[in-house]
Amino acid sequence: MSSRVIDLVPMAHVADVQRSVSFYELFGLKMRGNLKAADGAWQWAHVECEQARIMFARASGPLVAGDQAVLFYLYSPDLIALREHLLANGMEVSGITYPNYMPKGEIRVEDPDGYVLLIGQAG
C-alpha cells in the first residue's frame, strides 16, 4: 500500500534546544541535524542512536513540567550500566523497579523540561 506512513519521529517543544541535545547525548544519542536562528540560538535539532530518534523545537512560550502529557519509553541493553552512567553524570535517577510489564527492570528520569523518560531493560 503506497498511501501509508513509514516512519515516525516525535518532536518535543523545549525551552533550550541545545540543553536538551546535551541531556540526551548522555543516553548515547548523537545530533543528526540542527537549525539556528540569526542570533545563533538553536531553533530545532534531531538526535538519534540506532532506532531511538527524537526532534526538539524551541517552545514559543513557557513550559510547565506538570503539564507534559507525554512520556518517552526507551530501552537499554544494560540498564544497570546506564543507570550508573547517569548517576555519575549528576542526574537524578530512580532505583530499578520491576513492574509486571517490564520484569527485567525499569528506571525513571525527567529531562530538563519535565518530560518523563521510562527506560526498560531490553531483551
The pLDDT tens digits for 14-69 are: 999 999 999 999 999 999 999 999 999 999 999 999 999 999 999 999 988 788 78
Res 1 pLDDT > 80: no
**Residue 110 vs residue 123, higher pLDDT:** 110
- Residue 2 pLDDT level (bands cut at 50, 70, 90): low
One-letter identity of residue 23 = F
Q: How far is CA 69 from CA 49, 111, 114, in A?
A: 24, 14, 10
- Entry pTM: 0.89
Average pLDDT of the chain is 94
CA quadruple 104, 20, 28, 106: dihedral, nearest 10: 0
Q: What is the rounded distance in angstroms from the CA atom of residue 102 to the CA atom of residue 89?
A: 25
For each of the domains in the chain, give its residue range(s) and CATH number, in order of start: 11-121 (3.10.180.10)
Q: What is the rounded distance in angstroms from the CA atom of residue 77 to the CA atom of residue 66?
A: 30
Length of the chain: 123
Grid coordinates belonging to 10: 516525535
- Contact assessment for residue 118 and residue 110, using Cβ atoms and an 8 Å cutoff: no
Q: What is the rounded distance in angstroms from the CA atom of residue 29 to the CA atom of residue 12?
A: 15
